[in-house]
Structure 1
Amino acid sequence: MTPTDPQQASSKAALTRAAILRAAGEFFEENPFRDLTVGGLMRQTGLSRATFYLYFNDLHGLLETLLEGVKGGIVEGAHKWLSNEGESIATLQDSLRALVDVGHTHGAILRAVSDGAPTDARLENVWQSFLASFDEVVSARIAQDQAKGLTPEFDPLPVARTLNRMDAAILIHAFGSPQKKEKEEVLTALLRIWLSTLYPFDAKAALQKESP
């Protein structure tokens, strides 16, 4: 194998890109987006400033990539509930636990975007698009349980929108700084709100109704 081997080059590129993203995540643990510079970030990695532009157009693009990673983790954790696989209440509980885990790991990234959004039009668009990306899928999932009689009748989209933004606010408050809250405390609060909103009926009866 030579230094120009395509597989080796691809692996090196992936490691370099991951190092830049990791350094940015560490930066946001202590600092706002407005203080981030390409030069400062690359000094953390020990790589040249020019290397940054091999992987990202600018710092906004970097932050978008970080946020896409957060989104991917949330969607993966919520897959069973969103896909209506298994019991609604049990899979929702698993989804919220996964959401808290992702928030605990990446709360500083969420805080960096949300804090910068009010004074940065591009970040505002990124942040609102991130939040809105969950609204339709959660709304559709609520409607499925309404059709089964598991969830009360109401317009699902405004409720989905409210629950999603509540989640973001709670995760940022709990995990957006180095002094993180206890995960179980946050999960308990989210579970109480989501379950009482979507499945206010007796849980055992709701699960029996859901069974074939």
Structure 2
Amino acid sequence: MRRTSTTTNALLGLLGLRHTWSSSELTAQIARNMRFFWPRAESRIYAALTVLASEGMVTSSPEPIGPRRNRTRYAITPAGRRRLKAWLASPPRPTVLECEPLLRLLFGHLGTDDQAALAVRRIRNDGERIQAAGRAIGMEFMERRAPFQEHVQMRALVFDFLASWSSMLIDWADRSQATMARWPEQSSQERHEAALAVIAARLPDSGA
């Protein structure tokens, strides 16, 4: 079976939650709920909506929002619901990680220690951003006023994943910053042995 675009399926999922959405409402929902694990530029969202409309998966209709101004509202069709159900029933693609700071650290020996430290701080800042967003969204659910409160049992699983992920990013950054702070006082051999100790502690069969 041909795999369909995950971004279009994500949009079908949002459209399956309520009667209609405008394109700006859809981009806002993706920014609110998916940006930390499925980030997409607005241009890609609009392009995906165009594809869905051309395939008959959604309908589009103009909505007046002012003098001589319209916005487009989208609704899922029966064919779109069938595709959404087929996607949910198919095996998911593997989890992937895209992280430029880690890529920079991989080649960090070609730069300076300060540049490596900047990459580590970026990752810590990212963890803090996820936690800040989580506090706001989490309180909405705890106060029973979240936009999709009735979906809390599934959304709690996503919340738990992102909360754990953000804590891991911050903990890793703190350990890495502490390691790098010792570098000026260590010899090349001491750095080498300390690095091997880190790897040994994280080997899957180490019990860590």
Instruction: Confirm or deny a common fold (TM above 0.5).
Output: no
Please give the range of the TM-score, normalised by the shorter of the 2 chains. 0.3 to 0.5
TM-score (ref. length: structure 2): 0.36
Structure with more strand by fraction: 2
- TM normalised by structure 1 equals 0.36
Instruction: Between the two structures, name the one with larger relative contact order (CA 8 Å, sep ≥ 6).
Output: 1
Comparing both structures, which one devotes a greater share of its residues to helix?
Answer: 1
